Each structure stands twice: as structure tokens, then as C-alpha cells.
Chain A
Amino acid sequence: MDVRQPISANGGDWLTKFGDQWKTQTTQIKEKFRDKIEEICLPPDYPTDVPILFVKKEGILEVLNFLKSEPGFEYGFLADITATDEEEEPRFHVVYNLFSQVHKCRIRLKVRVRDGELVPSATAVWKGADWAEREVYDMFGIKFEGHPDLRRILMDNRWVGHPLRKDYPLRGYQVFTEPMPVDPDLLA
């Protein structure tokens, strides 16, 4: 089923408010990072609330840095890093939700990755991306390159499997025979 409808914003239509700004911003980004942007999805044509930029994983840090500090964009607030399991190749989308505290608007970046591929860590841009990326690793098994301490965060360190993958079973339990490993932070 594919019902294409523009997603209305709750209170005040973002499409009329930011529509032109989104168009100019996305064309600007497209011109600047010509080969690094895979695809741009704009709201009325694609069922989303804010524009989505599909970025190649090699270029994600550059684009994030640009969006964070470039005047006119200033998406300085990292609202969220998460991922989705699309069940087709490339399997995962790593999703970055950004918010501009200056212009009060939002944008979404996505990186398509195959199972086992490394994504550059956004901790180089925002220190706070640390735990969000650890959670993505824990839940989806996507590894981040250059992350200072990529360990599981919600699940036990001995856990096998990544729960939010679509092929992960809903029921079942794991028995640990090994004792809990000593935390590397304690020895540091």
C-alpha cells in the first residue's frame, strides 16, 4: 500500500513556512556536495515531514560539519541518531535528525549502509553522539569508525545478536555462563 499524502505539521504548516527555504537549502547542498549526495526527498512529493538527504557514507562528516556551522543553515542541535532496518540491500539507514536553534527548522540525513560496513562516527562533530551511536551499534550492529568506545549500552555485554534487526526473534532468552567481564573503563 502506498498512500502518498503530505504530512501536515501539528500547528502551523511547516510546508508553507519552510517550503522555499528547504528548496534553496537543498539545492545549495546539492551544488556543494555534488557527488556525495545520493538523493534528496522533499516533503510534498515524498511522505515525510522535513527534507531527507541521502548522503554517501564517505561524505557524512563533511555534510554534518557543513550543516552545523554554515551561516544560513546552522543545524547545531543533534536531535537524534538512530537507524532503520529496511530488509533490502543496502540493509540499514542510519538516520540523523538535526534541528537549527537559529532558524527553528529541522532536517534529516540518512546514510545507506550494508551489513558489516563501517560508518564514520559523528562524535568528531558532536561529542554527544557517543551514546546514540553505541545504542545504534547495540540494537542494529552497525559499527562506527573512529568511535572512542563502541560497546553495548542497553543490553548486557555478553549478549549475542542485535535486537532491533527485523530478523531477530521476539521470544527467547540467553543464559550466560561466563561472569560479567570487567569494564575496560575501570582499568583505565
Chain B
Amino acid sequence: MEAQKSQLGLPEGYVVEHDPDDLWGDSRVIVNIGPTHPAMHGALRMVAKLNGETIEKSYCEFGYTHRAKEKLGENRTFHNFIVYTDRLNYCSALLNNVVYAMSVERLMGIEVPDRCVWLRMICCEMARIIDHLICIGINAVDLGAFSFFLYGFHQREEAYTLIEKLCGARLTTSYARIGGMMADAPEGWEKDLKIWIAKTRTVIDEMDNLLTNNKIWKKRTVGVGVFDKEKCLQYSYSGPNARAAGIDIDLRRDQPCLFYKDVEFDVPIAQNGDVFDRYMVRLAEIRQSLNILSQCADKMKKGPIWTEDKRVRIPDKDVVYNTMEGMIHHFKFFMTGFDVPAGEAYTQFEAANGELGFYIVSKGSPRAHRMRIRGPSVWHFQGISPMVQGEKLADMVAALGSINIIAGELDR
């Protein structure tokens, strides 16, 4: 460096920043990806400083679809807030509904009947399968494997048809209610579910055969976007992304809620924490979820789906239309809402992408004092910059797809 300096005849104190990897002499390019870009999953923005094709430095930005959900949670009644939970992780809306209902029930000390719990478990596992199908499908599309995605998406559409039979909506379900469910499953729905489970099993095997051992897929994913155990703990990774790095935590097994201790399932673990391992963990989890689903469909018995607790019970329509008291009850319920006793609880559940938590502080009124939503996507997205540091730009797309960022949950 000193020799170089004298050769150039530079003045004293002038620092030559020479980088041996820099072929073209300080040719850094700043690439801006997003907020609206096909490779970004939602309105996210990533700015990368490139040396050639290698990412030297990057940072992420989000908040483009910020809808002030936490503020809304403080200004809507607990019942009104159910519809907003759909729009968190819109790939697994059922799961968000269920976790929210559980968290308010926990504050109120309400137990729901058995059939309701089984129904909720079915909702959670279906949502998980849909979410994983989207994640691995879109991840493959980003890397050029389009047909793989279509197999998964067909099954997803079939799942939405089942969900439509449950609650009349496909994407924004609002199915759970505090203390019960919006409606019972229709007659013969379990049979339809079992047909779907059998079909999905074969489709998952097909998808597995199609992609897992594909040479190009392996070259694009093995050893790419590595996020090891230590980093996962530093950045609070949870769910399949943490399990891909060898962290053996599944809240369904380790902090059982609903009836998860009554069903048998394995928790798939991988060691390397790269894109391929995340894909494999998600694929294995779909199979486990299918197992759970078929056990739930067998164990679900006929019975009530609403709790007996009068505070949260929505009055039946014939009572509302035919009696004065019922009508008043109906109006009081929807206009004023019910009081939730003072207290605070952080309720968490193993959502499709990781730990989804609702930290609700109540001061005894029908509105929450604080409604904090802990979405796993925020914590996963935070890790993307260190994850892709020193990787190629094209690998960033693979890494981003593999951790499954959902903008609705990220921005809230």
C-alpha cells in the first residue's frame, strides 16, 4: 500500500481504500429491491450494496402496509377485533383467529367445549399446511420451479373450499369467536376433510419426488442463506426456521394448549439452517400436520361448540328476533361489548412461521388497554441482512422466500 501511494504521488495523509476483491476499482452498486417487486413477498424494501454480485451490506425497510392494528386493538371491543386478526398473517387467517380467541378466553378464564377445541385444532393445522404450501411453493417459483408451486396451490384451493364450507369465506375467515366458534362444521364435513387429507398426502409425495432431489434446486439451496443456531437465538428465530437450524422447540409439544397432548406427532429437526433445510422441515411438517388432522377428524365427537359462559355467548338469532330481552342482549353485546377482567397475559402459540403471541393488558373494560401482537415475521425479517451478508444477490431471493415473510404480520 505504501509503495502504491508513493507511486501515485499522493499527498501525505491520503488514504487509499483498496480492496483486493474489488476487481473494477470501487465499483459498488446500490440495488434497490421493492417495495413492489415480484421477488419481494409483499410490500417490503431491501437495499443492497453490491460488489460485483456479492452483497456487501444491506438493510431492510417495511411498514408500507402499516394499519395501526395495535392502536385499533385499544379502540375496538374485544369482539370487534376478531376481524382484524385475519389480516395479520393472511396465509393462515384461521390460526390467528384461534390464537386471539384463546388469549382473550385466557384472560376471562373461559373453558370451551371439546368439539370446539378439536375444531380449532383442525383450523390451526389446515392453516399451517396452507401456509407451508405457499412458502415452499413461492420459494420454488422464485428459483424457477413453477410446476411444483401449482401442485401445492391446487391443494390449497381445495383446502379453501373446505374452509368456505366452514365459515363462508375463503381468505379472511373470522371463524373463531371468544368462547366458541362462529358456526359448527356442516354435516359430513369430517368426511370431506379426510378425502382432502388423503389427496394431500399423495400430492405432498409427488411434490417431494418432483423437487427435493433436483440437482438445480439443491445447488440453489444447499448451503445458501445459512443461519446457524447461535444466530437464531440472537435474533429470536422460532418455528420451522429455528428448527431448521437444530433448535428443538415446538410450542405445540413443549407448551401444549388445545388438545395437542392427546395427539401423536413428531417435530422435524434439521441441522444446517440453510434454505434447503428450511424447505425440508416445512415439507416434513406438512406431513405431521396431516397426521394430526386425521387424528382430530377421528376424535372429534358431536357436541356443543359454545361455552356456557353468559358473558361472551352471542344470543341465538331466534331469541334475538322474537324476544325483547334477546334483542337488548344482542345490541349490548355488539355495541358495548363485554367486560374483560383486569389482568394481563401473553398468550403464545406455534403458528405456521413461529411464535405468534398476543400480549393483552386489560383494565376491566370492553376494550384492551394494550394489544400487542408478536408476529414471528418481524424477528425473521430482521435476520435477513446478516443472513445474506456476503452471499450473491440471487441467493437473497432464495433466503427471503425460505423464511416466509408475510407483510400483513410484519407491518400490522
Which B369-412 residues sit within 8 Å CB-CB of chain A? 369-370, 372, 374, 378-379, 382-383, 411-412
Q: Is the CB of B346 within 8 A of A79?
A: yes
Q: Is the CB of B347 within 8 A of A10?
A: yes
B339 within 8 A of A: yes
Please give me the residue from chain B that is nearest to A127 by CB atom.
B234
Contacts of B412 in A (CB 8 A): 154
Binds A, one of B64-72, B161-169, B263-271: B64-72
Query: Which of A3, A5, A154 is close to B63, meaning CB atoms less than 8 Å apart?
Result: A154
Which A94-134 residues sit within 8 Å CB-CB of chain B? 95, 97, 99, 101, 104, 106, 108, 126-128, 130-132
Q: Is the CB of A47 within 8 A of B256?
A: no
Give CA–CA (A135, B71) in the complex, Å: 13
A49 within 8 A of B: yes
A76 within 8 A of B: yes
Give CA–CA (A154, B111) in the complex, Å: 36
Q: Is the CB of B255 within 8 A of A47?
A: no
Number of A-B contacts (CB under 8 A): 138
Contacts of B343 in A (CB 8 A): 5, 7, 47-48
Chain A contributes a number of interface residues (CB within 8 A of B) equal to: 50
Give CA–CA (A82, B358) in the complex, Å: 11
Contacts of A6 in B (CB 8 A): 109
Chain B contributes a number of interface residues (CB within 8 A of A) equal to: 59
Q: Is the CB of B255 within 8 A of A155?
A: no
Q: Is the CB of B235 within 8 A of A128?
A: yes
A80 within 8 A of B: yes
Please give me the residue from chain A that is nearest to B238 by CB atom.
A77
A8 within 8 A of B: yes
Q: Which B residues have a C-beta under 8 Å from some C-beta of A?
A: 30, 47, 57, 59, 61-63, 66, 68, 70-71, 74-75, 102, 105-107, 109, 111, 233-236, 238, 247, 249, 254-261, 339, 341-348, 355, 357, 359, 361, 364-365, 369-370, 372, 374, 378-379, 382-383, 411-412
